[in-house]
């Protein structure tokens, strides 16, 4: 939706007033009356306001407000999503993670933050170019979203690092670990499938670090840092595996 410029607004208002005044004068000149000049001026002003106000609202105010609201919505969207993958960016991820932690503490229901880093991504960027790398990131983002539930959150921290925030894994910590591990294994499996770009078959793997969300008060950035530390342990083990923070 096009946002009206000041010039557009002025031109439209002037056009409406000119047309409305022309119609008013035309009516007044063709209807016999004995009104004084003052009375005629009052009638002219009232009729002009009556005709022009709805037109100004419909043709100027409403489109201006709608376009402005659409622009503000777009700006807010761009401020909270990764422009390449359209996943939540770090800012939005932290907000969702804070909500997940608050929910876990309130309902005594475990959650988890899974930090996933791609194995072999640098080789694709170096060997096939950044367009190929971007294509892999977009495809990986789609695959991650296809694995998790609709109320779970998938985001991109930057580079080839992604975060998945899982909700409602249950009150029992052991059962929650099993569920988080199951999701992590699915993520690794889905990411590991071939990606085709311009007729070439590209392949990346994934290393996953998991930080369970318990019932105590926690800091979102600390939780992400813990998951990141666990992910680096997975890398040190050769990649393609999952490590829980604290193990």
Return the active site residues. Answer: 160
Is the four-CA dihedral 50, 52, 53, 58 of positive or negative sign?
positive
Q: Using CA atoms, how far apart are residues 223 and 140, in angstroms rounded to an integer? A: 23
> In sequence order, which residues have a C-beta less than 8 Å from that of residue 110 and are 6 or more positions away?
104, 169, 170, 171, 172, 173, 176, 212, 213, 214, 215
Smallest CA-to-CA distance from 81 within 187, 166, 184, 153 is with 153
Tally of CA atoms within 13 A in the half-sphere of 66 that contains its CB: 9
Q: Using CA atoms, how far apart are residues 223 and 147, in angstroms rounded to an integer? A: 22
Output 148-153 pairs: Cβ under 8 A, ≥24 positions apart.
Answer: 148/183, 153/88, 153/93, 153/96, 153/97, 153/100
Strand order in the sheet with 153-158: 153-158, 161-166, 111-119, 205-213, 242-244
User: Rounded to an integer, what is the distance from CA 25 to the centroid of its chain?
Assistant: 53
**H or E element that contains 113:** strand 111-119
């Amino acid at each position: 939706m096009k946002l009206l410029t000041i010039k557009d607004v002025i031109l439209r208002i002037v056009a409406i007033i000119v047309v409305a005044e022309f119609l008013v004068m035309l009516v007044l000149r063709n209807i016999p009356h004995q009104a004084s000049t003052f009375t005629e001026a009052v009638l002219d002003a009232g009729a002009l306001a009556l005709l022009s106000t709805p037109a100004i609202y419909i043709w100027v105010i409403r489109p201006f407000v709608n376009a402005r609201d659409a622009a503000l919505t777009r700006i807010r969207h761009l401020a909270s999503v990764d422009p390449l993958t359209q996943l939540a960016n770090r800012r939005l991820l932290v907000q969702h993670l804070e909500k997940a932690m608050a929910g876990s503490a309130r309902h005594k229901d475990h959650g988890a933050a899974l930090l996933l880093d791609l194995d072999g991504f640098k080789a694709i960027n170096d060997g096939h170019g950044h367009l190929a790398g971007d294509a892999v990131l977009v495809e990986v983002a789609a695959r991650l979203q296809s694995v998790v539930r609709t109320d779970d959150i998938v985001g991109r921290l930057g580079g080839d690092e992604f975060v998945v925030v899982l909700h409602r894994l249950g009150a029992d910590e052991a059962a929650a670990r099993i569920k988080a591990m199951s999701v992590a294994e699915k993520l690794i499996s889905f990411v590991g499938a071939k990606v085709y770009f311009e007729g070439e078959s590209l392949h990346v793997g994934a290393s996953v670090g998991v930080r369970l969300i318990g019932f105590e008060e926690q800091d979102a950035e600390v939780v992400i840092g813990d998951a990141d530390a666990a992910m680096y342990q997975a890398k040190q083990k050769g990649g393609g595996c999952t490590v829980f923070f604290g193990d």
